[in-house]
Chain A
Amino acid sequence: MAIPTPELKKFEKDVQQCMKCGFCAYFCPVYRQDQMEKSLARGKNQLVRGILSGRQELTQGIVDIMNKCLLCKTCVYFCPAKARIDRAVTAARADLVAAKGLPLAKRFVFHYILPNRRLFGLFLKVASWFQHILPGSGRFRHLPEFLYALGRGRHIPSIADTFLRQQLPEVLSPPAGVPVKARAAFFSGCAMEFAFPEKAVALVRHLTSLGVEVTFDKAQGCCGAAVYMSGDFETGRKMALKNVEALENYDFIITGCATCSSGLKEYAQYLARDEEEKKRFERFASKVRMYSEFLSDELGVPKEGYKLREAFRGKKVTWHDPCHLSRHQEIRSQPRDVLKSLEGIAYVEMPNADACCGLGGSFSIHYYDLSKKIADEKVQGILATGADVVATACPGCIIQIRDALMRHRKDIEVVHIADLMEPGRGALRVPPARTKVTAGKA
C-alpha cells in the first residue's frame, strides 16, 4: 500500500527548483562528514522527486534518510536556486508519521508528556530525584529512549530544583521609576523552564529594567518544534493552538530560545489546517520576537543602555549563530550589535560562527557520532578565536557546545546572551532559585 504524500505535495515547487548543481555538497555539515549523496540536499531532493513523480514510494528507508538531516538550512542558504529542501524533508517525515505513527518512545513523550505542561514538569521532577543518585556530573541513565541517548556519555544540564513557573510571578513590571515602554508575553520554552530557569530569570529581569512589562502567561506550553519537525503534525498542531490561544492577543511574544522562536514562527508553514488558520498562525508569528531581535529592532536600546554583568568583565566573547536564529529567521546582526555594545568585553567574530553545532534535535540521538564530529568543527572555530566565553541564544546549542568543549577538555564558558546582562539597580527581585547549576556552567 503506497503511503499517501499530501504534505510532500504541498512543497512540490520547492523540490522542482533544484537543478542538481551540487553546490550544497560544499556546505552541508552532514555530507562533509560522510560524503554520501543521500546525506545531501541534492540526493534527498531526488528521492522526493521520485516519490512525487510516482517513480517510487515513500518508505521507511527514505524517511531514515530524511531523519539524517539537521534541518540547519545551510544548503538552502547557499543554494543558487533557493530550493528549500528543508520543507520537503519535514513534509516527508510528516507523511510517514501520519501513515505509520511514531516509534513507541517518541509517541509516549510527544502525545502524553510534552503537551501537558504540569505532567511534563512532574515527570521531570521525578526524573530529577534520580539524578541525585547518579555521580555528580548530571548524566541521565534511566530515561525513555528519547532522552536516553542525550544522556549517553553526554554532559547535559541537571533538571532545576525549582522550575521557572514556580519562580516567576505572572506579571512582571518594570522597577519603580522606569516607564513602561512595551508590553509583552514571555515564552520560556522547555529548556529554560526546566533546566535553565536562571537564564530566563536573567532575561526577564533585563527586559523589565528596560521598561518592558512582561507577562509569563502560564497557559503556554512546549512550542512543539521538536514534535512537528519530527513529523508529528497532529500533535504539533494541538500544541500550536494551545500557545496561539494563550498568547495571540499580546503585543509581542518574546523568547530567549532560537528553536522556540523559529518553531512558533513556522506554525503557519506546516500546521495550518486551512487558509483561515494559516492567517491566524501568520498573525501570531508576526508578534514573535527573539530576545536580541526585540532589544535591537523594537526597543532600539542605545549602546549605553547595556551593562555588563561584572563576572564577565575583561573576557573575550565570541558568538555562535544558532541555525534557527540565523538561517530560519534571518537574525544575525542584532545579537552582534548587542554584544559589541557591551562595554567591558572584547568581542571576537568566530570564523565559522554560523556553522551548525550538530545537535539538530533528534539527529544527535540517531546519529550521535556524526553529531559529535560536526560539533568538533565548531570547537575548532571557537579555539581559533581565543575566546573565554561563547555566547549564543539556543539552549540546544548550549548543551551541544558545552558537551563538545568538555570532550576536548577546554575550560570555555558557554552562556546565553542574556547571562551577560546586568539589569541594574532596582531591577525586579526574584527569589534566588535553589538550583545546583550556576549561571553559565553545567
Chain B
Amino acid sequence: MVSADVLESLREIVGAENVLDSPEDLDTYAYDATSTWFHRPDVVVMATSTEQVADVVKLANEKKIPLTPRGGGSNVSGGSIPIRGGIVLGLVKMNRILSVDADNRTVTCECGVILQDLNLELAKSKLFFPPDPQSFLSATVGGMVAENSGGPAGVKYGVVKNYVLGLKVVLPTGEIVHFGGTTMKNVVGYDLALLITGSEGTLGVVCEATMKVMTLPPAKQTIIAVFDDLGDAGRNVGRILESGILPAKIELLDNWVIRSIEKIQPMGLPVEAGALLMFEVDGSPDVVEKETQGVVDLCSKHGAHEVKVASDPAEAMKYWKARSAGFAAVFGAAPTVLAEDVTVPRSRIPDFIERVDEICKKDGLEYTVIGHAGDGNLHPSVLTDIMDEAHFNKAKAAVDRIIESAVEFGGVLSGEHGIGLEKQKFLRRAVDEKVIDLMKQIKAVFDPNNIMNPGKIWES
C-alpha cells in the first residue's frame, strides 16, 4: 500500500528519523487503550509542524492512502487504530504551548500537548482547563478535541466542546484552514470548529487549538459518602443537585471497584461498602464551606452510613488518586474488558444500575460500575476473555442489552468515549438513518477520497 517512492517522499517531508517502518515499530502503533483491536499500519510518520502535517496529508490524499492521526493513543473507542492500514500520523512531537492569554483567559497550543502539561503551564497564571478526562497523563489536546472528551468535572464544567474557540486544521485534501476564532462569542457562518470537535479525526487533522480556560477556584473540598446500597447512592446525586449545590465532580464507585483499588494500591477504602460517592466542591471559600455542609447533611439524612470530609489537600488527593486507580483496576481485572460509556438521564441512574445488574447476573457475568454520576455518564464494564469464545459472546450480548437499556431509558450510547470502532453497530439504534446519511455527506465534502481515519463511526 505504501510504495518505496512514497516512503522516500515521507522521509523528505519529516526527516528519515521520523519515518518508522520496522515490524516492531508497526506493532507498537497498532493499538490504543481498547482491549480488542489490533491492526498494523504500513508506516508511522511523526510530524513536527503543521506544514509537515499538510504535506503528508496531501501526499496521502493524492495516493489514496488511508491516514490515521494519533495523539497519546489513549482513547477507548478505537479512534487511533489504523484499521485500514496505511499511514499512522503521530502528533506527539507537536507539543508546544504557543500562548497563554491570562487577560482574555484563552490558551493556544499545538495538538500534541498533554493535558497534564497544559494544566501545569496554565497554573502558573492561576488558570486551568476544566474538562478532565482521567487519561490526562497521556491524552493530547488534538485527541481531546477529536473525541470531545469529558471527565468527572463534566457535571459542573462541561466537556471539551464548551471550551473550543478556534482550530487550525489540515483538511483531508491537504489545505490548512482556520475554523472559529479566539473569542467566546462568535457567530460568523457555520460553526465548523464545533463540527470538528467530536468528529473522531475523520474530517481533518487538528494541528492547533485556541481554547477557553477558567480561573483556578480559590477553594476546594472533597467529601466521601459511604453507602450500603448502590441505589441509595444514585438517588442522592439528584437530591444534591436539586438542592442548588453544583459540585465540580460527583463520582460513583461500586463495591467491586473499591475492592479492586484496595488490592492494587491499598488506601484504606471501606471494602464492605455497597457504593462510594465522591464529591468535589469548589469556588470561593465561604461557598465551599456551605456546600460541603450541604452535601454532608443530605447524604447523612438519606442513607449514607458514613460521610467523611477530607481533612487536608493530601487526603483529598488520595481519594482522587483512588478514583484514577479505579480505571486501572477495572482494565487490569480481566484479559478483556468491555467498558461501556452510556449516559442516561440522572434521575434514571439507580434504575439503570439495577438493570445492568439484572442483565449480567442472568448470565453469571462479572461486571462493575464506575461513573460520573453527576451527569448520568456511567461506565459499566463487563469482564471477559476474548480467548474464551463462549464467554466473550455472552459478554457481548450483555453489553448489547445494556446499551439498548440506556437508549430505552432516554439516554445515549456514548457519553464521552466516542463511537470509533467499538460502538459502530449501535449507531443505527441511536441515530436516525436520515441523520447518518447527512453525516456521511458532510464527510464526503471534507474527505472525497475517504482517506482520513476511514472505517470509523460507520462502516464505509
Given contacts A38-B25, A46-B28, whether A21 and B135 have CB atoms under 8 Å apart is yes
Given contacts A16-B335, A21-B33, A21-B138, whether A26 and B27 have CB atoms under 8 Å apart is no
Which chain A residues (5-22) contact chain B, with CB distance < 8 Å?
A: 16-22
Interface of A (DSSP majority class): loop
B368 located at the interface, meaning its Cβ lies under 8 Å from any Cβ of chain A in the complex? no
Instruction: State the CA gap A78–B137 with chains docked (Å).
Output: 10
A82 located at the interface, meaning its Cβ lies under 8 Å from any Cβ of chain B in the complex? yes
Instruction: State the CA gap A56–B29 with chains docked (Å).
Output: 15
Which chain B residues (86-111) contact chain A, with CB distance < 8 Å?
A: 90, 92-93
Which chain B residues (5-34) contact chain A, with CB distance < 8 Å?
A: 20, 22-25, 27-33
Which chain A residues (69-84) contact chain B, with CB distance < 8 Å?
A: 78-83
A82 to chain B: which residues have CB within 8 Å?
A: 264-265, 332
A79 to chain B: which residues have CB within 8 Å?
A: 328
Instruction: State the CA gap A46–B20 with chains docked (Å).
Output: 17
Given contacts A17-B332, A80-B328, whether A61 and B24 have CB atoms under 8 Å apart is yes
Instruction: State the CA gap A61–B28 with chains docked (Å).
Output: 13
Instruction: State the CA gap A80–B116 with chains docked (Å).
Output: 16
Say whether B28 contacts A25, CB under 8 Å. no
Smallest Cβ-Cβ distance to A18: which chain B residue: B332
Say whether B264 contacts A26, CB under 8 Å. no
Given contacts A36-B20, A50-B27, A61-B24, whether A81 and B328 have CB atoms under 8 Å apart is yes
B74 located at the interface, meaning its Cβ lies under 8 Å from any Cβ of chain A in the complex? yes
B324 located at the interface, meaning its Cβ lies under 8 Å from any Cβ of chain A in the complex? yes
CB distance from A28 to the nearest CB of B (A): 11
B234 located at the interface, meaning its Cβ lies under 8 Å from any Cβ of chain A in the complex? no
B325 located at the interface, meaning its Cβ lies under 8 Å from any Cβ of chain A in the complex? yes
How many chain B residues sit at the interface, stated as a range, is 35 or more
Instruction: State the CA gap A87–B44 with chains docked (Å).
Output: 28
A342 located at the interface, meaning its Cβ lies under 8 Å from any Cβ of chain B in the complex? no
Contact with A along B310-340 (1 / 0, CB 8 A): 0000000000000011011101100101000
Smallest Cβ-Cβ distance to A16: which chain B residue: B335
Given contacts A35-B93, A46-B31, A80-B325, whether A23 and B331 have CB atoms under 8 Å apart is no
Instruction: State the CA gap A22–B72 with chains docked (Å).
Output: 7
Say whether B332 contacts A83, CB under 8 Å. yes
Smallest Cβ-Cβ distance to B326: which chain A residue: A80
Say whether A19 contacts B331, CB under 8 Å. yes
Given contacts A36-B20, A61-B23, whether A19 and B328 have CB atoms under 8 Å apart is yes
CB distance from B45 to the nearest CB of A (A): 12
Smallest Cβ-Cβ distance to A83: which chain B residue: B332
Smallest Cβ-Cβ distance to A22: which chain B residue: B138
B31 to chain A: which residues have CB within 8 Å?
A: 20, 46
Say whether A47 contacts B24, CB under 8 Å. yes
B207 located at the interface, meaning its Cβ lies under 8 Å from any Cβ of chain A in the complex? no
B331 to chain A: which residues have CB within 8 Å?
A: 19, 21, 81
Given contacts A21-B74, A22-B135, A22-B137, whether A81 and B33 have CB atoms under 8 Å apart is no
Say whether B264 contacts A36, CB under 8 Å. no
B328 to chain A: which residues have CB within 8 Å?
A: 19, 21, 79-81
- The one of B20, B25, B92, B324 in contact with A80, judged by C-beta atoms closer than 8 angstroms, is B324
Instruction: State the CA gap A37–B92 with chains docked (Å).
Output: 11
Say whether A65 contacts B138, CB under 8 Å. no
CB distance from A76 to the nearest CB of B (A): 12
Residues of B in contact with A (beta carbons under 8 Å apart)? 20, 22-25, 27-33, 35, 46, 72-74, 90, 92-93, 114, 116, 135, 137-138, 264-265, 324-325, 327-329, 331-332, 335, 337
7 contacts between A and B (CB under 8 A): A17-B332, A19-B33, A20-B31, A23-B135, A36-B25, A81-B331, A81-B332
7 extra interchain contacts, Cβ-Cβ under 8 A, other than A17-B332, A36-B20? Answer: A22-B138, A23-B138, A42-B28, A47-B28, A59-B24, A80-B325, A81-B328
